[in-house]
Structure 1
Amino acid sequence: MNDLEYGTRDKRGDWRPKDPLKVGPLLDFPWSPIRVLKWLPAYFFPWNVTFMAVGALFWFFLTPSRETLQTLSWDWPLLLLLRNSALILALYGALELHLYIRRAQGNRFKFNGKFPSEQPSSVFWFKSQSVDNALRTFGTGLPIWTAYEVLMLWCWANGYGPWVVLGDHPIWLATFALVLPLIHEVHFFCIHRLIHVPILYKWVHSVHHNSVNPSPWSALSMHPVEHLLYWSDVLIHLVIPSHPLLVLYHLQITGTGAVIGHVGFDKVEAGQEGAVDTHAYAHYLHHKYFEVNYADGMLPIDKWIGTWHDGTKDGDRMMQERYKKKVEKMNRGAAEQN
């Protein structure tokens, strides 16, 4: 495919889409029902339908019985850890191999024209972004993900929480499933904005932002404190009537879905003319500029608070104006203190 039919490349080799990013239409005003209808297929396909399918596969075939889950032991949590790890190794590893090791599509549709392996840095373990990111993913990311899953399944098995039966409340559970990606977006924005507070950024979130040029393994490369915060949105199932199937779907959105915003490419080519849209550009811009796009744009939260970057030169200008005002405010504060 010719990526210049879809975007432009600057003199450094960085690619950007021609069309500006747009926030999701559900709460964006003036509201347009036609725009919502056009947006709905992208809300479901391919990602959220895939996450639900994987969650269902895990629930019906790869999760122990309720009787087993009632008692905490080492064996069934280890089983969950191994299945979660196998999934991430297969998916993240395949994307890393295809796009970053084999470089099967070169830098076509790649936001940052360089590859992380071309820029070794001492901020990473062994001076390798991919090695550092993978070690953090498997070292604390997957164990903390699995710990939340163990907690939720143990609570369900022992009747702690407002759990309901699938067949008894299908409409409610279907509705809850439909809005779970939106719930995740709101939670992600809240904890993400929190860990950009200077002291938390320095000691916690900076680990993730070391990957300025993210690749698939960057998705879950975080400080353990950030991992704890990141997966805490699943605790909503202890407050709102739910079912373990939705818990596993939710964990797929947060865990498996994290790779979408970090793949580093706008499209993953499939065949001669086909490609899968990643919708990764909004979060890539956050890694590039740090103080924009705290959410992923499914809801217009950043647009409401003035931190939305649509990927255009106008977006660059608005960002620079905001930075300038921030610096001026900080300088006034320092002058008043003196």
Structure 2
Amino acid sequence: MMEETKFGRRDEFGHYAPKELISYGPLFTLPPKPMAVIKWLPGYFLPWNLLLIVFGIGYWLFLAPSLEQMKTLEIGWVLYLVLLNYAIVVLWYGAWHSWLYVLRRQETRFKYNPRWPTARATVFVFGKQALDNIFWTITSGVPVFTAYQVAAFYLYANGYVPLITLSDNPIWFIVLLLLVPFIHEVHFYAVHRLLHTRLLYKYVHSLHHNNTNVLPWSGLAMHPVEHILYFSVIVLIAVFNSHPIHMLAMVMRAGLAPAIAHTGFDRTELGGERTVPSGVYAHYLHHKLFEVNYADGAVPLDKWFGSFHDGSPEADERLKLRMERRAEAYAKKDARA
């Protein structure tokens, strides 16, 4: 059993936070610091970003139909992809949820919010958060990202988008593969800011934000319109000079990373003194505070656009001031209307 205090602390209300304030790393700092970037990169890619890229490679090598087969839209291979994606999602999300919330193998150690999710709440389908989250993931999330995946495969198979191979263009092939997490971050930020506009938040994104005390299944608990916007990054990467491996790495990133971002735990215990990072504190703060940290990762978009919260009391004060100014601006706008 690992002591929480080695990695973080709890406040007077029992809420857990990592010791280190949220930061973006040295990739975009000026002047450039090449050695600092080299030291930082392994921690960015390991374990999850690299693992999801490997999942994408494995999907192509061992599970995907051939491009020749996908030149025509046929129910056989499309249905195969649907069932395959359902199996992957159920296994992945179910494993995280079972370990942390059903079996409760580490109780509330490293859990950001010390309380377990409410047993019943009327804002959720079926009145239960977990069932609501599973419902939206299964009925909308998997079908939408599979549809994008099918479209991308069809484009590759018929030569409608440029297709490269590792042997023909090894440098760009590897570089683009490593850029997958960064492309996803930028796209996610743009879509996320759009979803926080007044009408889209009220009628679409608020469904996802019903999850304030998040579960792994909360990651893809979205309105279908949000799924359509969020997963559009799958086709976006196909318009680059790319290979289906790049697209599938993006499928794995967009489809599976939300479970990690929404575990609600900063670390997961593996037994003894071993733990692995398993939460994104920046995104937990987004669910808690709503108007901060629209992105998470290495690209400092929130810092550039004034919505960054590093977990400090000073950031709380900046947020309070920003929200007061926004409320005043909305009040003036409504008064003129």
Alpha-carbon distance in structure 1 between the residues aligned to 2:25 and 2:139: 35
Q: CA RMSD in A?
A: 1.5
Deviates further, 63-72 or 3-12: 3-12
Describe the SS at the equivalent of 2:181.
helix
User: In the alignment, does 2:65 pair up with 1:78?
Assistant: no
1:51 is aligned to 52
Task: Give the TM-score taking structure 1 as reference length.
Answer: 0.95
- Provide the rounded CA distance (Å) in 2 between the counterparts of 1:271 and 1:238: 41
1:28/1:300 contact within 8 Å kept = no
| Runs of 4+ off more than 4 Å | none
SS in 1 for 2:269: strand
1:306 shift after superposition: 1.2
Comparing 10-19 and 146-155, the one that deviates more: 10-19
Aligned to 2:14: 13
Q: Which residue of 1 aligns with 2:299?
A: 299
Q: For structure 1, which segment, 12-21 or 215-224, has the greater mean C-alpha deviation from structure 2 after superposition?
A: 12-21
TM superposition shift of 1:270: 1.0
SS at match of 2:287: helix
For residue 35 of structure 1, report the CA deviation from its aligned partner.
2.8
Alignment of 1:180-191 (within 5 A): 180-191=180-191
Aligned to 2:266: 266
Correspondence 1:257 to 2:253: no
Q: Is the 8 A contact 1:95 1:216 kept in 2?
A: yes
- SS at the partner of 1:8? strand
Q: Read off the aligned partner of 2:243 and give its amino acid letter.
A: H
Match of 1:212 in 2: 212
Take 2:297 and 2:49, find their aligned partners in 1: how far apart are those partners? 15
TM-score by length of 2: 0.96
Q: 1:188 to 1:13 in 2, by over 3 A?
A: same
User: What SS does the corresponding residue of 1:219 show, helix, strand or coil?
Assistant: helix
Give per-residue Cα distances to partners, 1:9-46, cap 9 Å, x unaligned: 23332111122111132113454333312210022211
Moved more, 232-241 or 169-178: 232-241
Name structure 2 gaps, 5 residues minimum: none
Aligned to 2:195: 195
Distance of 1:164 and 1:31 partners within structure 2 = 31
Q: Percent identity?
A: 45
**In the alignment, what sits opposite 2:155?**
155
Whole-angstrom distance in 2 between the partners of 1:277 and 1:323: 31
Q: Which structure 1 segments of 5+ residues have no match?
A: none
Three-state SS of the structure 1 residue aligned to 2:232 is helix
Number of aligned positions between the proteins: 336
Does residue 120 in structure 1 map to residue 120 in structure 2? Answer: yes
Aligned: 1:68 with 2:69: yes
SS state of the match for residue 38, structure 1? helix
Contact 1:25–1:299 (CA under 8 A) maintained in structure 2: no
List aligned pairs for 1:222-241, cutoff 5 A: 222-241=222-241
Equivalents in 2 of 1:264, 1:21: separation in Å?
Answer: 16
Q: Hey, what's the Cα distance between the residues in 2 that align with 1:200 and 1:332?
A: 21
Q: CA offset at residue 170 of structure 1?
A: 1.1
